[in-house]
Chain A
Amino acid sequence: MKWKQSSVLPGFNLALGYSVLYLSLIVLLPLAALISKSMGLDWASFWAIVTEPRVVASYKVTFGASLIAALINLFVGLLIAWVLVRYSFPGKRFIDALVDLPFALPTAVAGIALATLYAPNGLLGAPLDRLGIKIAFTPAGIVLALTFITLPFVVRTVQPVLEDMEKELEEAASSLGATRWQIFYRVILPTIFPALLTGFTLAFARAIGEFGSVIFIAGNMPFKSEITPLMIISKLEQYDYLGASAIAVVMLVVSFALLLMINGLQWWMTRHRR
């Protein structure tokens, strides 16, 4: 067997063993418990629970809003990372630290703060309300909360790659007659693309599971602004542990499939570039 790779540092067996043990205890075991709990249902009742119209409506809200939030952060995150790496200006360090704040803040606090700000009588909500735009207590509020929560991912994954990029590459491209768009599209984008995709994936995955902040700003109207984690909570509220675990399993499977797909895409793109 030749899967032991040579390395300057010793300890392959120990390191791999520890990784597998750790992942099993922290990740696999709880998930296995969840899946085994849902096994208490026969297939027909499992299917009936997870395809109930109200639950299906909540999948659309959760996955739709998460996708939109991750897409917004894909562009805005890249912009912020670019500004932080390529320009120097007073207060740069302060802004740099600000980016991580959504990670540190309890999500419920974020949700309440956003709801207060964007409610029809809020600081930003009131003028928007006069224009006929409603954000808090609509699906737009969900997107807003998720965008806030997942902001740091793209910035923090793209930033180090941009920092490592040599400016000379762009200068060389420019001296060879490339337009600005060509430099971005042909030189910069291929380098940062894997990092960009990783950031997007992390943001998307985090948004799907988010509950604490969304619940305060969503309005939680059936078929309109109910997220899937809320459906799980309301099942638990009826002491319906099996029903709750059934919906959780669906979220788990769909999320894992999406993550696998995005990872596959990333792998395929890196391979084809070479």
Chain B
Amino acid sequence: MSKFKQIVLAISLSGFSAFSWADTTLLNVSYDVMRDFYKDYNPVFQKYYEAKYKDKLSIQQSHGGSSKQARSVIDGLEADVVTMNQSTDIDAIVEKGRQINLGWEKKYADEAAPFSSMQVLIVRKGNPKGIKDWADLIKPNVQVVVPNPKTSGNGRYTFLAAWGAALKQNGGNEAKAREFTRAVFANVPLLDAGGRAATTTFMQRQMGDVLVTFENEAEMIAREFGRGNFEVVYPSVSIDADLPVAVVDKVVDKRGTRKVADEYLRYLWSPEGQEVAAQNYLRPRNAAVAAKYAKQFPPIKLFGVAEFGGMKAAQKKFFDDGAIYDQISAEIAKKR
């Protein structure tokens, strides 16, 4: 047998054996920024799973904008699990596609969100505009870079963070909160479609004085652009962005993968899973892991979307067509 034939045979055999071994596959449909986390988490889980069940598991990932991914699942993408950046995306799958059963947020601890992030302020090196808190974003000479709340969960969390911070400052006065949030968005020179695009605008194009984004995105910026090129400012109070997960009931029942899918998500709360999260600058729930990484997570006063009656109520009140965000942007456009 020639060398070439041997190689071909070896490759085809190995391909075949891998195929026959990997009888369990999972598809995790996730959002953009989670790419790095699951790249680290999947091998950790696979190792655990293979040791426990002596069975080979392969995990496929799909990433995109959170709501776009949810629409794909509604339209029939066979995801075993979904891992999103806002609960409304999972609620949409429950309501529009009915692939996930009601009550998904009760199936796991912490409202089915294994970790969280929060909105921080990212400023230029040396903080030339002296930005310390939300109140500094409405100064007349400050430009704020934020992704579009109409198209980005990141942008929606920023809007809610500014609104909530103003509520706290003014003893719950809604009119004052509205005025403050409008002043913040009046300082926004452009609205990128997603969080990553906003990062590019701020870091690459050097537009604006402050970028508002997730804490874990700040770590991505550090890895990409170097730690010395910007500073992270923690505001006095911020929003707790829960990042929820769910098993897609219809798909796992059809494919017979419920047990694996459930274990895959459950393991996110294990010390090992929580450790991977902390390494990716996602705030862990596990107290021991949180204590270990306390240095990288300064304690900040946080409020959750519960403040607004949950993400669904917030979506309706602020971000639906004709709701408060649209009214505010119309007022800003008129003034210009």
Contact = CB atoms under 8 A, between A and B. Distances in A.
Given A54-B326, A121-B206, A220-B190, 17 more contacts: A52-B321, A115-B205, A119-B206, A121-B207, A137-B207, A219-B189, A220-B148, A220-B191, A222-B329, A224-B333, A230-B151, A230-B193, A233-B193, A236-B71, A237-B67, A237-B150, A243-B321
Contacts, number: 73
A200 B192 CA distance: 30
A7 interface: no
| Interface residue tally on A, bucketed by range | 20 to 34
A238 interface: yes
Contacts of B98: none
A139 interface: no
A32 B197 CA distance: 34
Contacts of A219: 189-191
Interface string B178-205: 0000000000011111000100000011
Interface string A84-118: 00000000000000000000000000000001100
Interface in A134-164: 136-137
25 contacts: A115-B205, A120-B205, A120-B206, A121-B205, A122-B205, A215-B193, A220-B193, A221-B190, A221-B191, A221-B333, A222-B332, A230-B151, A230-B193, A233-B151, A234-B148, A234-B150, A234-B151, A235-B321, A236-B68, A237-B68, A237-B151, A239-B67, A239-B71, A239-B92, A243-B321
From A53, A137, A240, residue with most partner B Cβ within 10 Å: A137
A63 interface: no
A116 to B, nearest CB: 7
B321 A116 contact: no
A93 B71 CA distance: 46
Contacts of A116: 204-205
A245 B207 CA distance: 35
A216 interface: yes
A221 B205 CA distance: 18
Contacts of A120: 205-207
Interface in A6-59: 52-54
B54 to A, nearest CB: 42
Interface string B140-160: 000000001011000000000
Contacts of B189: 137, 219
Nearest to B197: A216
B306 interface: no
A118 to B, nearest CB: 10
A54 B333 CA distance: 10
From A115, A119, A216, A221, residue with most partner B Cβ within 10 Å: A221
Given A54-B326, A120-B205, A223 B333 contact: yes
B300 to A, nearest CB: 28
B330 interface: yes
A236 B92 CA distance: 12
Contacts of A243: 321
From B92, B190, B204, B332, residue with most partner A Cβ within 10 Å: B190
B314 to A, nearest CB: 13
Contact of B192 (A119, A220, A233): A220
A5 to B, nearest CB: 44
Contacts of A222: 191, 326, 329-330, 332-333
Interface string B324-336: 0010011011101
B41 interface: no
B279 interface: no
Given A216-B197, A233-B151, A234-B150, A53 B207 contact: no
5 closest A-B pairs by beta carbon, nearest first, are A219-B190, A223-B333, A234-B150, A119-B205, A222-B329
A119 B207 contact: yes
